[in-house]
Chains A and B, each alone.
Chain A
Amino acid sequence: MMQQQTILVTGVAGYWGARVAQRLLAESGLHVIGIDATPPQELPEGLDFVQADIRNPLMTELLKAERVDTVCHLAFSDSRRRNEANFDLNVMGAMKVFGAAAQAGVRKIVYRSSTAVYGALPQNPAYLSETHPLHGSKQYGYTRYMVEIEEFCNGFRSQQPDLIITSLRFANIVGETAVTPLTTLLRGKVAPVLLGFDPMMQVIHEDDVIEALLHAIRHDAPGAFNVAAPGLMPLTRILALTGVLPVPVLHPLAYWGVQNVRGRFSPARLLPFDPDYLRYRWVADTRKMETELGFTPQYSMEETLRAFATFKRARHTTADDDDALELDKERLRHTLERRQRQRARREQQKEAAQ
């Protein structure tokens, strides 16, 4: 490698930023700059940390001075709250980062988005393609702001034809460590559902989120991509597999409660989704991910949920428990199966290349 490639990761003190930076640092020939308004609790070895707000006007100078090649934008607030602070961080933050990147001559931007931007509507087709209009929830802060960012990006792409902007729209993220709407629902013993509704849902494993972001950093793929694990399941099966007891709520009551009850007893605290997302189908088409992005998730939907269930049960057993060994065996078996499949796939790709 003649010149060291510089990659800037925003929100490096956050969960996604920290994990992506860690993985990038493990690769040779990369200069990884991490930026965040607050320093991370433990600084990863070799990370070039810069303490700054992403909305800082001097961002352009930093990007220019460091000759940044790729910006991986992960500084988003996942909060469901709608307020000025979240709007400013998510929407204005993204616009300022993208603007600075364009001015500084950055080659590529990769950022994390969500399939929730399409919205959950009764007239949704079974599979939502990347070109489907964005009707995401206006009630749920993160989704509302993400729709704005995606719409801004569509215009920005045509203004900046040389800048590669890759938006990865992830399905419901599930994993042991990530905190997402669906994991919030699945971590408990009971979960509210809407009486008589059982939409088909999609998930993606947290490790595959990291893999997909790294894949997009390594390979150039302009445009938006839906990223989801293969397989679909009805919501009740997701809950059953992860050992959660569904508590049905009349849907008009759920809508009314989320709209009108504030404070400690607000159902929004129990319901990490806009009720529409538990009512209608919002499944994304992943054909573009497979063909144009060339990315294949390691975990299928069923494996993702079974892994989560194993982890959840393991939390309730102690080391000297009889169950602990069984759980450990189960987990190792899943891992072995997955690795076997990965090896087979790699060999297949090698054969195809030859």
Chain B
Amino acid sequence: MSSQDDGHEIPVQDEEISNEELRQKLAAELDGLIARMKELDPHYEPPPFSPQGMISFIEKSLRHLAPTLRLEILEKARQLLSEDLFDIETWKGVWYLINYNVKYQIDFVRRRLTGEYETDEWGLDWELVEAIRPFLGFMYRYYWRTRVTGLENIPDYGRALVVANHSGQLPFDGAMIGTAIYNDHPSQRLIRNLYASWFPTLPFVSSFLERMGQVMADVDNGVRLLENDELVGVFPEGYKGVGKLFKDRYKLARFGRGGFVKMALQTGAPMIPTAVVGAEEMYVVVHKSETLARLTGFPYFPISLRFPWLGLLGVIPLPTRWYIDFGQPIPTAEYGPEAANDLILVSQLTNQTRNIIQQMINDRLAQRRSVFL
């Protein structure tokens, strides 16, 4: 259970009871809680306590609170530290935190039903991002055991455009680039990946992507995001890349029409070439059926060794080892915003970026010894 909070009324402690009574009551309550937790997950071992771990936990928990509230909580925690650790006040504090968390979970549902929540102009909902994070974190760390290099190439703040190769039939690569930056980059930025205009037509997928802060691919949208100093992710190969056959793996397809370069030039945002290796082997696709694509309305219909023969089982990706390499940024500010109309320059930069990413992929493939290990 993560402890994302929001500004809500704090349960008021009853001051009438004496400290001794309260101590006993608390101990009993805590014992009950421990028993209930153990029932839920008998093998759970809490992580070992260390000051660093505690501080990073507090930092993580407080990240999305309002600054004033953050200060209030930190000051309260600081006060508690200076007193005797076994003082009744400490336990009051612990009880307060637990209460707060439980109340938050109940509140979460209630607030969803009464509309008391916030989204940004693109539809991003932080609470839902936090709710889905554990799953993506699991896939990132334990399922695909992703190795990341070059995170220092992502700026701590300010606009930047991450340009990556696209592969793997389902757009997990975008999700993993986002998780890598959100989990492991010091400034923990949220990347705004641009997705194809086919996704808004799909039920659940469309609203899910929107709530996760992802945005429909469009030059206007990209420019607006970059002007707001956001971190934007693009996959210029599009369907041609994501729907590659197994035999064509790691051969980059054409990089669209250079729309991403126009966005970067217009806003002076640096382009960060990024290579994702490992996603190509998630599914072994041997054929693309045009008839089935037409029938289902999909932009492509992959026939893999397992799909559609095994049904949903065929959708589970293979646990390959992933590598995400962020390359040296390509500066674009020097050309000026008018250069976005210079079609020759746009196509030159498009090809240059494509070659850099292909080279990065080739380097990684040469070093890689096994698809799975």
B206 at interface by CB-CB < 8 Å: yes
Is there contact, CB below 8 Å, between A241 and B197? no
Q: Which residues of chain A from 121 to 170 have a CB within 8 Å of any chain B CB?
A: 122-127
Chain A 274-302 per-residue mask, 1 if CB under 8 angstroms from chain B, else 0: 00000111000000000000000000000
Report yes or no: B115 in contact with A122, Cβ–Cβ below 8 A.
no
Chain A residue at minimal CB-CB distance from B114: A240
Q: Tell me whether A198 and B114 are in contact in the complex, defined as CB-CB below 8 angstroms, given that A122-B201, A125-B221, A126-B215 are known contacts.
A: no
At the interface, yes or no: B123 with Cβ under 8 Å from chain A? yes
Interface pick from A11-19, A34-42, A231-239: A231-239
Q: Which residues of A contact B197 (CB under 8 A)?
A: 122-123
Point out the residues of chain A lying under 8 angstroms from B335, CB to CB.
none
The residue in A194, A199, A234, A238 that gathers the most chain B C-beta atoms within 10 A of its C-beta is A234
Contact of B204 among A196, A241, A281 (CB under 8 A): A196
Which residues of B are found within 8 Å of A30, using beta-carbon distances?
Answer: none
Cβ–Cβ < 8 Å partners of B201 in chain A: 122, 279
Interface residues of A in 191-225 (CB under 8 A from B): 194-200
Chain A positions within 8 Å of B207 at CB level: 196-199, 234
Q: How far is the CB of A118 from chain B (nearest CB, A)?
A: 13
Q: Which residue of A lies closest to B223 (CB)?
A: A125
**A251 located at the interface, meaning its Cβ lies under 8 Å from any Cβ of chain B in the complex:** yes
Complex Cα–Cα for A238 and B198 (A): 26
Q: Which B residues lie within 8 Å of A232 (CB)?
A: 119, 121, 123
Q: Is the CB of B119 within 8 A of A234?
A: yes
In the assembled complex, which residues on chain A have CB atoms less than 8 Å from the CB atom of B117? 237
Q: Is the CB of A234 within 8 A of B123?
A: yes
Most B Cβ at <10 Å: residue of A127, A197, A241: A197
Residue contact A241 to B200, C-beta cutoff 8 Å: no
The smallest C-beta distance from A33 to any residue of chain B, in angstroms, reads 42
CA–CA, A197 to B122, complex, Å? 15
Chain B residues, CB < 8 A from A123: 197, 200, 216, 218
Q: Please provide the chain B residues from 193 to 215 with a CB less than 8 Å away from any CB of chain A in the complex.
A: 197-198, 200-207, 210, 215
A197 CA / B123 CA spacing, docked (Å)? 12
Q: What residues of A have a CB within 8 angstroms of the CB of B112 in the complex?
A: 240
> How many Å from the CB of A162 to the closest CB on chain B?
33
A240 to B119, CA, bound (A): 14
Contact with B along A226-262 (1 / 0, CB 8 A): 0000001110111111100000000100000000000
A240: nearest chain-B partner, CB-CB = B115
A196 to B209, CA, bound (A): 12
Residues of chain A contacted by B84 (CB below 8 angstroms)? none
With A125-B218, A197-B207 as contacts: A281 and B200 at CB distance below 8 Å:
yes
Contacts of B203 in A (CB 8 A): 194-197, 251
Chain B residues with CB under 8 Å of A237's CB are 115, 117, 119
Q: How far is the CA of A122 from the CA of B297 in the complex (A)?
A: 14
A25–B216 Cα distance when bound, in Å, is 47
Is B83 located at the chain interface by the 8 A CB criterion?
Answer: no
Cβ of A200 and Cβ of B221 under 8 Å apart? no
Scan B222-246; emit 1 where CB is below 8 A from any A CB, else 0: 0010000000000000000000000
Do B224 and A126 have beta carbons less than 8 Å apart?
Answer: yes
Q: CA A242 – CA B113 in complex, angstroms?
A: 11
Q: A196 and B206 in contact (CB under 8 A), knowing A232-B121, A234-B119, A280-B200?
A: yes
Q: How many angstroms between the C-alpha atoms of A237 and B111 in the bound complex? A: 10
Q: Report whether A126 and B216 are in contact in the complex, using a CB–CB cutoff of 8 Å.
A: yes
Bound complex: CA A234 to CA B211 (Å): 9
Q: How far is the CA of A280 from the CA of B125 in the complex (A)?
A: 18
Chain A CB within 10 A, most for which of B112, B115, B117: B115
B residues less than 8 Å from A194 (CB atoms): 203
Distance between Cα atoms of A124 and B215 in the complex (Å): 11
Task: State in angstroms the CA–CA spacing of A238 and B203 once bound together.
Answer: 19
CB contact list, B5-42 vs A, under 8 A: none
By a beta-carbon cutoff of 8 Å, the part of chain B in contact with chain A is 112-115, 117, 119, 121-123, 197-198, 200-207, 210, 215-216, 218, 220-221, 224
Query: 19 A-B pairs, CB-CB below 8 angstroms?
Result: A122-B197, A122-B216, A124-B216, A125-B221, A126-B216, A126-B218, A127-B220, A195-B203, A196-B203, A196-B206, A196-B207, A197-B206, A199-B207, A200-B123, A233-B119, A237-B117, A239-B115, A241-B115, A251-B203
**Can you list the 9 inter-chain pairs with the closest CB atoms, starting with the nearest?**
A196-B203, A240-B115, A241-B115, A196-B204, A198-B207, A122-B200, A123-B197, A125-B220, A125-B218
Residues of A within 8 A of B (CB): 122-127, 194-200, 232-234, 236-242, 251, 279-281
